[in-house]
Structure 1
Amino acid sequence: MTDRLTAKQGQALLEKEDILALGLAADARRKELHPDNVVTFIVDRNINYTNVCASECHFCAFYRQPGHQEAYLLPTTVILDKISETIEAGGTQIMLQGGLNPALGLDYYTGLLQEIKKRYSITIHSFTPTEVLYVARKEGLSLNETLKRLQASGLDSLPGGGAEILVDEVRQRVSPKKISAGEWLQVMEEAHAVGLKTTATMVIGMGETYAQRIEHMDRIRNLQEKTGGFRAFIMWSYQPGNTKLGGEKISAWEYLRTLAIARLYMDNIRHIQGSWVTQGERVGQLTLAFGADDLGSIMLEENVVRAAGTAYQMSIDKMTGLIRAAGKQPAQRDTAYHIIKHFSEVKL
């Protein structure tokens, strides 16, 4: 598949193509981009600094309304302790992500970033487009000014959370209070314009159609064509436990066939990440035969997926073992996908 897929072709493949044929095509594309056969991972920590959220997404089991007895805002000292633990464990990145807490203004975020950078040498890959836009509106600032202030205070890059499906028909059904698809893309374009690299994400299994999945991929591909600012694409499956939206988990095969299409369709994004966090380690391993060249994070802490009743554990030994067993060469990377360490020997 040397020619760029059209939306119509991508949808037809997603609907009808044999899953093994998709896997072979996606794997061939991965080999073109990554002929060294290296599969990477990162050691980091997700720090959910607050679970208070005004967005109240129907698919989220993590958030709490302001004033709820389980609502929290982590003290800065606790956040700093978590970062110390991360560095001691060999972590190179932290992801600060939280709800849309009405009590927090831009000064909170810039102050926290400055405090972290003053104490630690660690990459801050944090704050989703949803959080950034919420703060910008609260302060009456432009996106450009808000992003520049965050960047000047120590923000290194933006994660792609909050994308879910970038089709407003879906978003109105599952997260009516959240930013629109166009607004998410606007934040990302502005971030790329000020020099912040980002990732792009997708959550499947919330009742969207195949056409809507392709529309999501198309919008990501188009923005990447314009800015080149996305480092990677990451896809999760919706976890229905403890959520207002409810429903059933999609099958592993459904996840894998959509992942393969993502590798084929988004031909201008170099890295595609497979999700062991929502799929489990065995399906995570299978993603390496369906186009993925990265298995994401060892993840020293994760709370959002766990709140929906899904919890898988990972260690460096387990991660490198999974990658080797798939016939690939494991390597630890940093946020920018530079290799920090190769793991060439099997540990006995």
Structure 2
Amino acid sequence: MAFLEISGLKKRYGALDILKGIDLELEKGGFLVLVGPSGCGKSTLLNTIAGLEAISEGDIRVDGRSIAGLHPSKRDIAMVFQSYALYPNMTVAGNIAFGMEMRGVPAEERKKAIDEVAKVLQISHLLDRKPSQLSGGQRQRVAMGRALVRDPKLFLFDEPLSNLDAKLRVDMRTEIKRLHARMKTTIVYVTHDQIEAMTLATKIAVLKDGVLQQFGSPAEIYNNPANMFVADFMGSPAMNLLSGTIEKGNTGLSVSLARADGEPIRLPIAAGREQLEAHAGRAIVFGIRPEALTDPDGADRNAKTVAENDCLIEVVEPAGSDTFAVIKLGGKEVVARLRADARIQAGQHARLAFNLDKAVFFDPQSQMRIA
């Protein structure tokens, strides 16, 4: 049985629907990341779990027990906010201990709990400082310590790293992942950063306009996107989505992609995509990740269907460990991810390898995945 169950959850403000029937399940010790663009409803969903927002329809169950009508203080849930929400007049130790003090936990027990959490978060040397004397990353650790010390059933994180600079975000991401692995806590985490989602999650829920677009493991979301929105939103650089046509010939199915500087490119479709036969002669959207479009020497040696073509390189972007190249196909700019030492130049043709095992196909009208 799932530890966290959200079923048919709806949230309305008057006539405005914010959440439109969310169904999710998370195992005990899992790490669920709610991701999507601003205004998609992810923070509202988190607030309904916390009890800060009442739900309009549906149910939320934690460890087999419905919490939908419970006051936030009765839910045994701890929340870490984007703003840290520390008391400026209290020391770090005071901030961590405040909740326990309010619940009447004895002083000796409080001190033991503070010391244990401070050791885990590596903030033992900061216990006598005030929040104004701490860096952003240290404040975030204190906010996490205040949640951890309660030992709740469920932890909620609302964009906890968005106020940090880029390097510190990466460092704190690693800390949170290490903490989760060590403590086996159950976490629901909100972010608009899809890299953060891919890095931290055991399960990802992608939302758009209050509708759950896809729910699955990071690998499922990345490799098998349910629709064009998920394909475009998850991944950096994003998946290339190109207009094409399915063609059926003597050798099987292929996809034809127009290009401005010559005849269309025709790419064979990997075996096992028989459902595309019904779309022969029709327009589709062909999706391929930048890493599946590379220089021939960098192509995946385990791939069963790889096609090579000469393409006009329009832009070259060295990025240290990789080189990104921009070409035009299907009327769109396409990003290829090449090895750092790939010898290519803008304005010249270069041989590129398409890993068709990794290609996906979408219906241009419904935007849903076909194969």
Comparing both structures, which one devotes a greater share of its residues to helix? 1
> Which fold has the larger relative contact order, with Cα–Cα distance below 8 Å and residues 6 or more apart in sequence?
1
Q: TM-score, normalised by structure 1?
A: 0.30
Comparing both structures, which one devotes a greater share of its residues to strand? 2
Higher radius of gyration, 1 or 2: 2
Q: TM-score, normalised by structure 2?
A: 0.28
